[in-house]
Chain A
Amino acid sequence: MILLLTSVLDYSADLVVRQLMKSGAHYVRLNVEDYRLGTECTFSPEMVSTLEVAHAGATAIQVRDIQSVYFRCGTSVANFRPSDTEPLANLAATQWNAFVRGLESLPAMQWMNRPSATYRAEQKICQLQEAHRLGFDVPPTIVTNDARKAVDAAKEWACDVVVVKPLDTVLLCEGSLELFAFSEFVRLGDLAEIDIRSAPVIVQRAIHPKIDLRVTVVRNEVFCVRITDEGRGVDGDWRHRHASASFTPYELSATLAGKCRALVRSFGLSFGALDFADDGHRTWFLELNPTGEWGWLVAKAGQEIDVAIVRALTGPALPGSGP
């Protein structure tokens, strides 16, 4: 049996469910918002742990039958509307989220991905260090809340433009507005004036011109697309141009594909989405997303990532992927 732990608005999980339906595999999907749907869950984390789930279709899960867990929880707080900041909604969201995270103690054969591995892999500083250790080209980087240090670093890198980006997702509510921070180019002449005192940021030498590459690793399978707009690379954060961007399947060199697998594996993951910037000479590692989105690549690039995920979840466990 495959257990999917996710959120109700995880549209990519629907793609996995569709493939599970086709394969005839037994599965149960639990969402961090399921309390709103009337689902009842009870978990007894004892020597022989038990998990009971009751919702439409009244499912009782025998823990010993769980072959794999597909874990993509998170962002439930981020998905809340401003009106949901009332205490009960907040309480339910945080506690239900913790309940689902606690299911890590389930003795499933394999996880995609283990919550604890996901959390560690999300740390951008850890990612950059590990990528450097594995021999990726990593742009010169400094993490600081001191603009003067950022200026000094940029001068040392002999560049006139840097990228400033958050250490973690910035999704904020301000009244009825939702604020989302992207990666931003900043000219050296403007860098000293930016206000970063109250929170540290990542400052990197800008890679430009460049073509973005999105690499998705599912166990040993590696998918890659080049992201272009009107045949050219996108300066800055390509997500600003998502509507007109093209996603073209692209074959990585065997060496780089091997490094991508190694990076994902080094964090104890079996799934990871990696971002690169190719300047025509070198392919620069930007970041790793252990719960990276991939659904749009199925439709727009014809990459059967959903099939690969189900193949991994229903296949034999790889060494090191167990509890």
Chain B
Amino acid sequence: MHFLIQRARAHAVTEPMVPETAIYDVAAGVWRTRAEPSRLLVELEPEARPKMMSKKADVEKGEDRKGR
């Protein structure tokens, strides 16, 4: 087995991609809370924010995007 696969960290991918307590506002291009009064997710305290589900999209872990 290739070294990079052998040492890779495995995570179960079973959860939905989109947090259930948030909604994407298409017109404004931003995530908001479903609960009223609606607030921008980025204005919540980090602990209160629903987690984005993708490994790559988890900014809290410092993962980097790729251009392709």
CB of A112 to closest CB in B, whole Å: 12
Chain A contact residue count (CB 8 A cutoff):
79
Q: How far is the CA of A168 from the CA of B52 in the complex (A)?
A: 23
Chain B contact residue count (CB 8 A cutoff):
45
Name the A residues within 8 Å of B7 (CB-CB): 181-182, 184
| A180→B52 contact, CB < 8 A | no
Q: How far is the CA of A122 from the CA of B65 in the complex (A)?
A: 10
Of all chain B residues, which has the CB nearest A58?
B27
Instruction: Pick out which of these stretches binds chain B: A13-21, A126-134, A278-286.
Output: A13-21
Task: Pick from B25, B30, B56 the residue with the most CB of A within 10 Å.
Answer: B56
Q: How far is the CA of A35 from the CA of B1 in the complex (A)?
A: 38
Instruction: Pick out which of these stretches binds chain B: A42-50, A69-77, A255-263, A313-321.
Output: A69-77
Q: How far is the CA of A101 from the CA of B60 in the complex (A)?
A: 26
Name the A residues within 8 Å of B57 (CB-CB): 7, 9-11, 75, 79
| B65→A292 contact, CB < 8 A | yes
B binding-site residues for A, Cβ under 8 Å: 1-14, 17-18, 24-31, 40-43, 46, 52-57, 59-68
Chosen A-B contacts, 17 in total, with CB atoms closer than 8 Å, are: A9-B18, A11-B57, A14-B31, A14-B40, A29-B30, A39-B26, A59-B27, A79-B57, A122-B66, A169-B56, A170-B5, A182-B9, A184-B3, A238-B62, A242-B62, A291-B66, A299-B46
